[in-house]
Amino acid sequence: MSFDSIEVTALYADVHPNVAQKVGMKMKSKLQVTSAAVKSTSAAAMKSTSAAIKSTSAAVKSTSAAVKSKLQVTSAALQSQITNLRDSPDRYKSPQKKRPSTPSAKSEAPMALKILQQKYRNVQERRRARREEAEGDSRTSFSATDRGGDMKSSAVCSICNHGQPNAKLRSCGHSTTCMSCTSNLMAKGLPCPQCSEPIMSYGISLEYMLEQQQQQQQEREAKAAAKAVKVQSEGVRGFLSSIATIVEDSKITEADHINKLRDVGRRKKFKEIFPNLRINCTIRATESIQMQLIQLIRSNDIQRLENLARVASPLILDDQQLYVVVRKRILEVLENGVVGGVASELVFEQILDACSILGKACSLVGAKLDAEIYYTRAKVGYENLHGADHEKSLYSALSLFMNMKLKTAQDVRLLRNLAERMEMSLGEAEAIEPFQMCAIAYAEHGNIEEAREVWEKCLEYQENSLGLKHRSTLVTVENLGVLEEKDGNFEIALEYFERALKGKEMALGEKHQETLLLLMTIAAIFEKLDDSESALVLYDMALKGFEATLGKDDKRSLACARNYMLCLNDDDDGDKNITKLEVLLKKYPHMVEEFLHLDSGESTSVNDSSASTSLFDSESDSDSEIDSESESESDSEQEEGSDGDVGLLSLARKGFL
């Protein structure tokens, strides 16, 4: 019955209930028959499938049993072969082709091999015993861990004593023999000479390979370093010769630069800065390095230009012309970087700093007018940016005064006003330098009272900030003595000079030229006080010191000898002085004619001349300083005392030079 007929019958059953009951009974019986058929079919299929699985598992078990039996047979055969190989007397021999031999040779070969093996073992035992005895070890044989452990290769082969131990035995890991000796050992069936383990195979030692690679790398690095040093030295020489020619009107030569770099401090700074210039030193042609320098000076790279300026500065090469050129280029680059004529506060201050430094550079080369222009520009800019009492404004104004000569009293008053402003704004220590300049200007204009007042103030500030024994303090004391000498106060001047002498003897030494020059000054004061005896003693001490340190031909020695001769000539102790004069004239024969003129009265004005004019030179080192680093270096040089600096004393007390 189809689905459509069932639906029709169901619809018809609403009208005839008996028909519907009959139809339901028929459908139920058909369903029962169908389910019974399905159950019987599934049971038969399951039984057949399980039977197939059981037969398959039985086949797998039989196959595995056959494979296992074959493996057992194979392993047993291998074990027997290994046992035969171990028990074989020829196990140390490498496989070789059989050669026909006589019966006597076959019987003698194993015996000869055993004898060689025994001799080899004896040699190794003796070597091992000597090595253990040297190491202080009482053991007579290696343990199992020693035989299997790693061992560093020695310098030479332990067999031939000249080859490199580049062979590593794979059975024990030792590397004490060369490749040739290891091959011979393996061919003869001999064991490892270190642990007596059989040599199954060998290869090249990894340690030896690494050592060889490291050695080759070191050789390459050494060659590269030597080449770099040579190239760099050639490049530096080309650089020095180039910068001596690219600046017009420059009197600096390559030899001058090389002499500057002989100083350890300058050479160290040059080595630090030179790589930052990024100049290709591999180009040996001087013209190529010149072109690189010209391109660098014309470039806009501020950092490289600053490095070049540091190289040319007084701290390293002291090439003043190149320093000015580079500083001008730096200022030009900074000004060109300003967009629309309006600069930010930071850029504007950088431009003012460049103007200030350029002013100092121009002052070094004698371009006073250019220096004044740049100083004025920096001063006005700092005052507009920070105010008149700012540190940079005050120092710019001081630099402007140092660049000019104080010709009028109005200039001196303006400098005095600046010194007082610096004292109020920056402190006493920073005001010492302008006050010194004021005192020198007052003394040159004949205003002794004002000069004395300012110098006494400077002395007080120096004693508080620098100390009693500092060189600058002693110079101020000496200046006060000269001032009192000019004013006719010889006794007060003598007190100042004696104080300065004690300080210089402690700071510089009794034989230093500044100390000896001060002795001459004190001797001249004693002459003016009519104490010829003390003056002669001091002249004699000073002359001996000059001759010992500088020689009798030095201008200081000649000046002291002449003063000594004049003092002896003026003294009344005739006989004693005549003897000293004879000794002095024999030592300095060129003074005989001059002494005869003095004795005849033709020249008598030399004793009245004063040598104190040079004492009014400024002690300041600011004109020769470029930056704060040079200030600290000049201060340290002042404390130590320089042999080439004669201080503020005259070379000759009485105007003979």
Amino acid 602: pLDDT: 45
Q: Give strand pairing partners of 203.
A: 168
Radius of gyration in angstroms for the set of CA atoms belonging to the chain, rounded to a whole number = 54
Q: What is the mean pLDDT of the chain?
A: 75
Alpha helices in 136-205, H assignment, sequence order: 144-148, 179-188
Q: Give strand pairing partners of 202.
A: 169
Q: How far apart are CA 281 and CA 234, in angstroms?
A: 7
Whether 15 has a pLDDT exceeding 60, the answer reads no
In a 3-state reduction of DSSP, which class is residue 469?
A: coil
Residues near 270 by Cβ (< 8 Å), separated by ≥ 6?
A: 261, 311, 316, 317
Q: Per-residue pLDDT tens for 33-66?
A: 777 777 777 777 787 777 888 888 788 888 878 8
Query: What is the three-state SS of 157-170?
Result: CCCCCCCCCCEEEC
Under a CB-based contact definition with an 8 Å cutoff, are residues 297 and 308 in contact? yes
CA atoms within 13 A on the CB side of 277: 24
Q: Per-residue pLDDT tens for 572-606?
A: 665 667 777 777 777 777 776 666 665 544 443 33
Q: Per-residue pLDDT tens for 620-648?
A: 333 333 343 333 343 434 333 333 333 22
Q: Per-residue pLDDT tens for 436-473?
A: 999 999 988 888 899 999 999 999 999 999 888 888 89
Whether 297 has a pLDDT exceeding 70, the answer reads yes
User: Token pair of 19, please?
Assistant: 């028909």
User: Token pair of 373, please?
Assistant: 């222009």
pTM listed for this prediction: 0.55
